[in-house]
Amino acid sequence: MNAELLLLKRGKKVGSYRGRWAGVSGYMERPPLEQAYIEIAEETGLGREEVELLREGSLLAVEDPALSRRWIVHPFLFLVHAPEKLRLDWEHQEARWVNPRHLRRYRTVPGLAEALARVLPPGER
């Protein structure tokens, strides 16, 4: 695939991980895939016709002792057909397209690398 990964820098108004890099995320209010499409639309302005589901990974539990939280992550990998249509909402202050192999250069939310490992082919991690 050799594609770039969209990283979003969390803004100052979010409740957790301000200033850290993340993927699209949200709280489960609907079935996981349906919620993923909703979050993509809210956070990036991209509709279902502008993204394509490539892979769904297995669930990942992420413990964060600093926040006394346990996150359950449903990893998905989407292809963005229209990156020029990307529009950030209030949750993020910056977007970058990066090589997945360079992820460790960024200060990310807990569990991001592990979630990506569940959806990226081994040669692209």
All structural domains of the chain, each given as residue ranges with its CATH number in brackets, are 5-124 (3.90.79.10)
Tens digits of residue pLDDT in 56-84: 999 999 999 988 899 999 999 999 999 99
27-42 per-position pLDDT tens digit = 999 999 999 999 999 9
100 neighbors 21 (Cβ within 8 angstroms): no
Tens digit of each residue's pLDDT (9 = 90 or more) over 109-118 = 999 999 999 9
- DSSP string covering 57-86, please? PPPEEEEETTTTEEEEE--EEEEES-GGG-
Task: Tell which residue, 18, 23, 17, has the closest CA to residue 4.
Answer: 23
pLDDT at 66: 87
State which amino acid sits at residue 7: L
Mean pLDDT of the chain: 93
Tokens of 42: 């809210």
Residue 67 is predicted with a pLDDT of: 86
pLDDT at 123 over 70: no
Residue whose C-alpha is closest to residue 17's, from 113, 91, 105, 98:
91
Per-residue pLDDT of 77-108, as tens digits, reads: 999 999 999 999 999 999 999 999 999 999 99
pLDDT, position 125: 62
